[in-house]
Amino acid sequence: MRRLFALARNPVVRLLFLLAAVGLAAWAIARDWASVTAALDRMDARLVCLAVALSFVYVAASMQSWRSVMADVGSPLNLRSSADVFLVSQMGKYVPGGVWNVVAGAELARDRGVSRARAAGALAMTMLVSVVVGIAIVGVGATFAPHGLPGWVRLGGLATPVALYFLTPQALTRALTFLLRLVKRPGAAEHFSTRGVTMASLWSAIAWVMAGLQVWVLGVGLGLDATLGTLAVAIAGFAAAWLVGLAILFLPAGVGARELVLFPVFAHYLDQPTIVVLVIASRVLFTIADAVSAAVPLLARRRTRLQD
């Protein structure tokens, strides 16, 4: 990990990394663009606009969860600095390996006076909170889903009490310290407060719900029944798919894993070709939201430099 941080300090490597991340994200969009546009054309324009908006709210809520962690460890950042660090670093998700967003975030935060160790720890803690909240979301969603969810997703409900236990500062600190040892960054994690963990968890829960809503809205546009039951299925199903994708580190942004999980999740409600379109459209809209959200601070920074 130390070698990755040292490598990321090189301006040429930073540029190549950004170009690679943007290129991979653009490829992910372009690869499925024809099928996505065909699906969106047959949907109500209001539902399409709502799905796009929910994609951006998901990104914003994820950033707010990270900001809560940063403020809790004593390095609060304003919205502009947060966008420069978090939104740009998230493009690293599209580079295979599973760690590039953390490396990029640590280096970008260092440019703003935050130590790499603190920035990387905050990003790791944000991801850990997201995982724990995601497990709880799967459990709650599976409880309210009427039928059709695979048995292993419903079993996620059994992990909800354990997940809620880990949403305590002491448990999260121990878990993060263990993770630091796994990546050969020994040492104690930052101390987190109850308020900080609560705020990060609330924003993470909002992000999960927004993501599930996006999938549900697209599904409704493609023929899914608009009921609270199918909404629970969409929220629990997306959370389960995201968690599986996260576990498979070599897949950029969970590509492939989401499909494997969401096919059986929606098999009771939609035919297979429609599920394919739903999953692809959802992924493309999330990718566009990531790319646009990263482009805004980059373009703003470039404009400021030109004015200076």
d(C-alpha 200, C-alpha 42), whole Å: 38
Burial class for 16, CB neighbours closer than 10 Å (0-12, 13-18, 19+): exposed
pTM score, whole prediction:
0.79
Which burial class, exposed, middle or buried, applies to 142 when counting CB atoms under 10 A from its CB (0-12, 13-18, 19+)?
Answer: buried
**Cα–Cα distance, 57 to 207 (Å, whole number):** 7
Q: Are 88 and 15 in contact (CB under 8 A)?
A: no
User: What one-character DSSP code corresponds to residue 251?
Assistant: S
Cα–Cα nearest to 113, from 86, 80, 77, 69: 77
Helix axes 228-247, 194-221, angle to 10 degrees: 120
**155 Cβ partners below 8 Å, 6+ apart?**
none
Which pLDDT value is given to residue 200? 93
Beta-strand ranges (E) seen in 125-211 are none
How many CB atoms within 10 Å of residue 43?
17
Task: Evaluate whether 299 touches 99 at the Cβ level (below 8 Å).
Answer: no
Q: In this structure, what DSSP letter does residue 83 have?
A: I
Residues in CB range of 128: below 8 A, 6 or more apart: 172, 175, 176, 179
Identify the burial level of 178 via C-beta atoms within 10 angstroms of its C-beta, where 0-12 means exposed, 13-18 middle and 19 or more buried.
exposed
Determine whether 147 is exposed, middle or buried from the number of CB atoms within 10 Å of its CB (0-12, 13-18, 19+). exposed
| Sequence ranges of the domains in the chain | 2-21+50-307
**Is the C-alpha dihedral spanning 294, 299, 302, 303 positive or negative?**
negative
Q: For residues 195 and 62, what is the distance between their CA atoms, to the nearest angstrom?
A: 17
Per-residue pLDDT of the chain (308 residues; tens, 9 = 90+): 455 444 444 444 444 544 554 555 455 556 655 666 666 677 888 998 999 999 999 999 999 999 999 898 888 888 888 888 888 888 777 666 556 677 777 777 777 778 777 887 788 888 888 988 998 888 888 777 776 667 767 666 667 777 777 777 777 777 777 766 665 554 445 678 888 889 999 999 999 999 999 999 999 998 899 999 899 999 988 888 888 777 665 445 455 566 677 888 888 888 888 888 888 888 888 888 988 888 887 777 666 555 55
